[in-house]
Amino acid sequence: MESNIDSFEKYKMVHHFMYPNDPLKKWINETNFINTYENDWNVLMPVVEKIENLDFFCMINKWTSIYKGSLDSNRIVIATTEGNSKIMNTYIAVTKFIKWYNEKQSNNT
């Protein structure tokens, strides 16, 4: 089970990805936040759509994969998860993607 601190760090990472110019309110911290990204499709799907708008593909099924390229052998899988509920798999894949994306962006600067 993930600690509140780890969960909060992922929440902040997703929030910053979605709203880079809108920092979290100062009163939100690891003891009082509610991570709606991991249990509300209405909150999570805009994140998936933003990833897709960056020319990546998201496949949500029993597992979730985020990849670049086509469905043939030329694709590069960025994140894939399975074994949880669809929404949790999607949330985990999204956080893996954002971590990868942020590292890639910082390496390009």
Overall domain count for the chain: 1
- Residue 37: give its domain's CATH number: 3.30.2120
List Cα–Cα distances, 83 to 2, 39, 42, 46, 86, in angstroms. 16, 16, 22, 23, 9
Question: pLDDT value at position 1?
Answer: 65
Range of the domain at 37: 4-107
How do the pLDDT tens digits run along the chain, 109 residues long? 678 889 999 999 999 999 999 999 988 888 899 999 999 999 999 999 999 999 998 888 878 888 887 666 667 788 888 778 899 999 999 999 999 999 988 887 6
Contact 66, 97 (CB under 8 A): yes
